[in-house]
Amino acid sequence: MSYEIPMGPYHPGLEEPYKLNMICEGETVKDAKLHIGFNFRGIEHLAETRNYIQVIALMERVCGICSFIHTLTLCQAMEKLTGLTPPPRAQYIRVIMGELERLHSHVLWAGIAAKLMGFKTMFMTCFEIREKVMDVLQAISGNRVNYAMNRIGGVNRDIQDPLSILAMVEALENEMTRTIIPIFTTSKTATSRCAGIGVLTTERARSLGVVGPVARASGIGQDLRKEAPYAAYAEMDFSVPVVPDGDVRARLLVRALEIMESCKILRQALAKLPPGEIAPPGDSSKFSFVTGTATARVEAPRGEVMYSVSWKEGARMPSRVHVRTPTYVNMPAVRFMVQGARLADTPLIQAAVDPCYSCTDR
Amino acid sequence: MSILTALARLLIFPGILFAVPAAWFFLWVERKSVAMMQGRIGPPFMQPFFDFIKLLGKSTPQRTGVAGALMRAWPLIAVSTAAGAVGLLPVLPSSGGFQGDLILLLALLEVPSICIIAAGFTSRSIFGEIGSAREAVLSVSYNVVFLLAIISVAASQHTFRLEALAQAPATSLRWIGILAVLICLPAKLHLNPFSLPNAEQEIYSGPMVEFAGPELAMWELSHGLEWVAATGLVATLIAPQMAFWGLSALAFVALSFGIVLLLSALAAATARLAIDTTVRFYWQCTIIFAVLAVSSALLMRLRS
């Protein structure tokens, strides 16, 4: 006999509110329905009532984890409309902040995944390391969550002493190589919970158009940092991890390998940080926009983020800011991932997508 | 054994007066040791006691009818049977009279688990029912090993009297039995990697989801008492017999404490396994242990 079991909108296994109604037979999930929209804040409409300085601070509040990425994408779109190009040092600082945010997001995700497996010790370890990543972010920006680093045409704060940041990054890398990565790849209880569950085949992943680590764990090697480089990514030497298996273990492996690649990028960017200005000279509070719509795409920790910004010449406020977040694209895949899965694995399967409803619902 | 001594053992040590504070102490040791392994500070010494008192003071929704009465009854039955199991442990040497019976002890140890299963179904919550179903499957899986271990040890010593069993010389079969019981304890105490019946992230702690206030306090107490009884059973089988009763009691407490630390370390170092992996694990253990027990028993027969 089948029965329906609700997961959410408020559930200890979920970071944010959404609802997954699962049709089960015994401990096996037969089908699932996803409901979103519990976190709607009307940010896109609010953006139309804020000027070009205020809108950056507003869009930083779209997400608490990838706040830098949102302002970076917005600023890149606005830079297209103003015709400004950030100086090379600002581009490098954007890469450094973007990769630190990726580390922060992936370590946080590893902690949440560990908690969902009932592996609380690993959860604590991950969050301890996350604190250290946040310390580095604080050392650079002065803030731990909303960094206020981006501005149109550059960044707001310089990295005065790259060597000290490099030492912090190396310490972090050592700690992650010693703890998170071996435990997630070798612990028998952890891998037994991940291997072969929540499988998303390459064909299904392609047809659903999933992005980010979810796509890369299903054998689709897409990464905007390589395919459409922005900031200073074209000057960085790194590889894009791709695992073809499509299960939760593959998603875990992709993120673990991405942590190592992020550290590699950080070392390069900090070592090669070019001298010069961090923003174009002139009045930083006056910008002139041309009429039109500009889009920008950035590889966020969860996948591709796209901003579409429309402006009218002479206006101080955007006429439209539209955001497409990776979770919105990835979540329909959860329905297919949980079909045939054990009920016990469903929190982990949905978490393996690394959903962010703060971004999705806005 | 005089009636007074028997009463003192059942009501004072290792009975109720010892068992209840020991339950809170063991709960604290488990929480504190896991916290320390995780780099946290952990709860203060009196926290399990404070939790208990605080829960006792909470009001619970009025439930009427048979389901309401049962929901009040299950935790009380679980507490009384777990406390009875602790009272039966032959920590102190006696000379005749009631010496504790192994079969009664095993039955009393099993009742809290049955109460949990019944409580989950009585609550009529879908999460409680799933948790109860998991507890039932888990119980069937580990109990085969658990009972086989205890009974084969008892049968090899030709006694089902706990005290006689505790005083009997240690054999290889006895050590295999103790090992098998130790393997079953995480499942019996709902610890990682076998904590699936009360998984918070999947089923909101399963059978306990609808319980609050004094009823939940009783469940917590019963869980603590299960800790004392289950670790005490292993400690009784391991503890060396001492002439002075104080030393026996001390050895019992120290060994129980050591087992709590061991189980906490295991819980801290592992993730929660899924139901099919757990069942497979225990049935594999059953086969291994059955082969070992039968061959050891045959060897002992041949030698004697």
Q: A288: distance to nearest CA of chain B, Å?
A: 51
Determine contact: A350 vs chain B, CB below 8 A.
no
State the Cα–Cα distance between residues B294 and B149, nearest whole angstrom. 11
pLDDT at res. B96: 47
Q: B201: distance to nearest CA of chain A, Å?
A: 4
- Cβ <8 Å between A189 and B34: no
pLDDT in tens, A263-289: 889 888 988 888 888 888 777 777 777
- Cβ <8 Å between B201 and A13: yes
pLDDT at res. B99: 56
Q: Can you tell me the mean pLDDT for A316-344?
A: 87
B36 located within any domain: yes
Residue of A nearest to B277 (CA): A192
- Asked if A241 and A257 count as a contact pair (C-beta separation under 8 A), the reply is yes
Residue of A nearest to B195 (CA): A118
State the Cα–Cα distance between residues A214 and B164, nearest whole angstrom. 61
Which of B202, B275, B279, B284 would you mutate first to test chain A, the one with the most A CBs within 10 A?
B202
Concatenate the DSSP letters of all residues of A129-176 into one string: HHHHHHHHHHHHHS-SS----EETTEES---S-HHHHHHHHHHHHHHH
B182 located within any domain: yes
- The set of residues, in sequence order, having a beta carbon less than 8 Å from that of B123 and lying 6+ positions away, is B71, B129, B207, B209, B210, B211
Distances (CA, A) of A159 to A129, A236, A269, B111: 22, 18, 11, 64
B41 located within any domain: yes
- pLDDT category at B115 given cuts 50, 70, 90 is very high
- Asked if B199 and B272 count as a contact pair (C-beta separation under 8 A), the reply is yes
Concatenate the DSSP letters of all residues of A58-82 into one string: HHHTT-SSSHHHHHHHHHHHHHHHH
pLDDT at res. A139: 87
Determine contact: A117 vs chain B, CB below 8 A.
yes
Beta strands in B5-140, from DSSP E residues, in sequence order = none
pLDDT in tens, A8-42: 787 766 677 888 888 888 778 888 888 888 888 88
Determine contact: A249 vs chain B, CB below 8 A.
no
Total domains in chain B come to 1
- Which tokens hold the place of B117? 């299963």
pLDDT at res. B94: 55
- Cβ <8 Å between B201 and A12: yes
Phi, psi torsion values for B101, nearest 5 degrees: -120, 130
Chain B residues closer than 8 Å to A192 by CB: 273-274, 277
- pLDDT category at B93 given cuts 50, 70, 90 is low
pLDDT at res. B13: 67
Looking at this predicted complex, what is its ipTM?
Answer: 0.77
State the Cα–Cα distance between residues A311 and A321, nearest whole angstrom. 9
Q: What is the dihedral of CA B200, B202, B208, B214, to 10 degrees?
A: 40
Determine contact: A19 vs chain B, CB below 8 A.
no
Determine contact: A343 vs chain B, CB below 8 A.
yes
Q: How high does pLDDT run on average in chain B? A: 83
| Strands A19-25 and A2-7, sheet pairing | antiparallel
Chain B residues closer than 8 Å to A189 by CB: 192-193, 270-273
- Cβ <8 Å between B130 and A346: no
Concatenate the DSSP letters of all residues of A224-241 into one string: HHHHS--TTGGG------
B178 located within any domain: yes
Q: What is the dihedral of CA B135, B137, B143, B144, to 10 degrees?
A: 180
Long-range CB contacts (within 8 A, 24+) of B298-303: B300/B156, B300/B171, B300/B173
Helices B16-37 and B3-11: crossing angle, nearest 10°? Answer: 30
- The set of residues, in sequence order, having a beta carbon less than 8 Å from that of A66 and lying 6+ positions away, is A101, A105, A300, A301, A302, A305, A356, A359
pLDDT in tens, B48-92: 999 999 999 998 888 878 888 888 899 999 998 998 888 877 766
Q: B125: distance to nearest CA of chain A, Å?
A: 10
Q: Can you tell me the mean pLDDT for A323-341?
A: 87
Chain A residues closer than 8 Å to B130 by CB: 5, 27, 343
Domain around B16: 3-298
* Residue A7 exposed, middle or buried by CB count within 10 Å (0-12, 13-18, 19+): buried
Q: Can you tell me the mean pLDDT for B209-217?
A: 89
DSSP A292: E
pLDDT in tens, A132-165: 888 888 888 888 888 888 888 888 888 888 888 7
- Which tokens hold the place of A54? 């205020």
- Asked if B203 and B209 count as a contact pair (C-beta separation under 8 A), the reply is yes
- Cβ <8 Å between B193 and A189: yes
Cβ pairs A/B, distance under 8 A = 76
pLDDT in tens, A100-143: 999 889 888 888 888 888 888 888 888 888 888 888 888 888 88
State the Cα–Cα distance between residues B89 and B74, nearest whole angstrom. 23
State the Cα–Cα distance between residues A42 and A39, nearest whole angstrom. 9
Helices B102-122 and B126-156: crossing angle, nearest 10°? Answer: 170
pLDDT at res. B133: 87
- The set of residues, in sequence order, having a beta carbon less than 8 Å from that of A54 and lying 6+ positions away, is none
Run of H or E residues at B141: helix B126-156
Per DSSP, helices labelled H in chain A are: 43-47, 54-60, 67-82, 88-116, 120-141, 162-178, 180-186, 188-194, 202-208, 212-216, 224-227, 248-271, 326-330, 332-338, 346-352, 357-361
- pLDDT category at B301 given cuts 50, 70, 90 is low
- Asked if A113 and A352 count as a contact pair (C-beta separation under 8 A), the reply is yes
| Strands A150-151 and A28-35, sheet pairing | unpaired
- The set of residues, in sequence order, having a beta carbon less than 8 Å from that of A187 and lying 6+ positions away, is A119, B270, B271
Q: Can you tell me the mean pLDDT for A54-71?
A: 89
Total domains in chain A come to 1
Hey, is B93 helix, strand or coil? coil
State the Cα–Cα distance between residues A150 and A155, nearest whole angstrom. 5
Q: Can you tell me the mean pLDDT for A284-298?
A: 83
- Which tokens hold the place of B23? 């339950």
pLDDT at res. B39: 85
* Residue A143 exposed, middle or buried by CB count within 10 Å (0-12, 13-18, 19+): middle
Burial A160-193 (b: 16+ CB within 10 A, else e): eebeebbebbeebbeebeebbbebbeebebbbbb
- pLDDT category at A232 given cuts 50, 70, 90 is confident
B304 located within any domain: no
Tokens 């003192």 label which residue? B8
Residues 251-270 of A with CB under 8 A from B: none
Question: What is the length of chain A?
Answer: 362
State the Cα–Cα distance between residues A244 and A262, nearest whole angstrom. 21
Hey, is A211 helix, strand or coil? coil
pLDDT at res. A228: 87
**From the centroid of its chain, how far is CA A22?**
27
- Asked if A20 and A350 count as a contact pair (C-beta separation under 8 A), the reply is yes
Q: Can you tell me the mean pLDDT for B184-194?
A: 87
pLDDT at res. B97: 45
- Asked if A294 and A81 count as a contact pair (C-beta separation under 8 A), the reply is yes
- Asked if B25 and B46 count as a contact pair (C-beta separation under 8 A), the reply is no
- Which among B127, B204, B270 is the nearest to A189, CB-wise? B270
pLDDT in tens, B31-56: 999 999 888 899 999 999 999 999 99
Hey, is A103 helix, strand or coil? helix
Long-range CB contacts (within 8 A, 24+) of A206-211: A208/A329, A208/A332, A208/A333, A208/A336, A209/A329, A210/A303, A210/A329, A210/A330, A210/A333, A211/A302, A211/A303, A211/A304, A211/A326, A211/A329, A211/A330
- Cβ <8 Å between A116 and B38: no
Run of H or E residues at A308: strand A303-311
- Cβ <8 Å between B272 and A117: yes
pLDDT at res. A12: 63
Q: Can you tell me the mean pLDDT for B243-248?
A: 74
B203 located within any domain: yes
- Which among B34, B204, B272 is the nearest to A12, CB-wise? B204
pLDDT at res. A350: 83
DSSP A22: E
- Which among A118, A187, A190 is the nearest to B199, CB-wise? A118
Residue of A nearest to B192 (CA): A118
Residue of B nearest to A7 (CA): B202
Tokens 């972090």 label which residue? A172
Domain around A71: 2-361
**pLDDT: which is higher, A336 or A315:** A336
- Cβ <8 Å between B40 and A124: yes
Whether residue A274 has a cis bond before it, omega within 30° of 0: no
What CATH number corresponds to the domain at position A259?
Answer: 1.10.645.10
> Considering only CA atoms, which of B200, B23, B255 is closest in space to residue B31?
B23
Most confident of A215-224, B144-153, B231-240: A215-224
> Considering only CA atoms, which of A172, A197, A190 is closest in space to residue A121?
A190
